[in-house]
Amino acid sequence: MAHVCKIINGKGLAEDIQTNLAKKISNFRVKPKLAVILVGHDPRSEIYIEFKKKACEEVGIDVKTIEFEDNIKQVRLERTIDELNNDEDVHGILVQLPLPKQIDEKKIIELINPMKDVDGFHPINIGRIMGNIETGLTPATPKGIMRIIDSIGHELEGKNVVVVGSGYLVGRPMLGLLLNRKATVTVCHQSTKEIEDFTLNADVLVVGVGKPGLITKDMVKKNAVVIDAGIATVENKVVGDIDFDEICKVAQYVTPTPGGVGPMTIAMLLENTWQAMRMQHGYKDY
């Protein structure tokens, strides 16, 4: 019997989520508002911001964009975040990363009110994940990955899950979310020796490094679920971390790049903004 690999349509899933979210927002008395801070003129950051703004507009979320030159001082950025924290009309705050070298990125993240931290990077929100407390805001990419896994009806309890990449954008929060589902989780990083020894044992493989071609066919277990959260540009083409065409020959489910995790990340950002607004108005159901 010929092997069949199913490509997960993250774009379609994200569109369904955004359609449902738009209905909720249109029927609610308060319109969510997201403040987006962009520092400098990095072309990729500017593109990401435009994607996010467009998606917000489509579901009915107001966007306030605040732009600074890349020579901004730490104190000026801190003052802006403090103002947004105290602005009751602003429900979500997003600081587009990366920030210039003179800015203490971690300190900026820590200054954001955890209830307005729609990226979910604040230590309090990460701590809630690790403590299996569901009242915080979850980082958009890991949250989107979990929804992708749920969409294919894949049970995580007792499964071997390998996460390649230990950054705070994907790898670290993924660890907590997967543990909360009672998966057996291994996190690999740049110091891991013989990474294939781990990936070949993965029922579910999540990759989020940003290194094209990092994961090849001979590193993937037959009939595994492979989630590619990496993103890079090669010869003006957007690609992920996996050798997609070859891995499709052995995996059961694979996310494409583009069209997989990316759209779900934006959908989860919108959902987080809605959740943040509901939390700030005292609603328990998000």
Q: Which residues are part of the catalytic machinery?
A: 52, 96, 119
Question: Which residue(s) pair with 205 in the sheet?
Answer: 162, 226
Which strand (E) or helix (H) includes residue 53?
helix 43-59
Q: Which residue, 274, 240, 271, is CA-closest to 256?
A: 240
Q: Tell me phi and psi for residue 147, to 5 degrees.
A: -70, -35
Q: Can you say how many angstroms the Cα of residue 169 is from the centroid of all Cα atoms in its chain?
A: 7
**Angle formed at CA 124 by CA 134 and CA 65, multiple of 5 degrees:** 100
Residue with tokens 């369904």: 16
Euclidean distance between CA atoms 27 and 119, whole angstroms: 25
Distances in whole angstroms, Cα of residue 131 to Cα of each of 126, 175, 195: 9, 12, 28
Euclidean distance between CA atoms 251 and 244, whole angstroms: 10
CB 145 within 8 A of CB 227: yes
DSSP annotation string for 56-113: HHHHT-EEEEEEE-TT--HHHHHHHHHHHHT-TT--EEEEPSPPPTTS-HHHHHHHS-
CB 128 within 8 A of CB 249: no
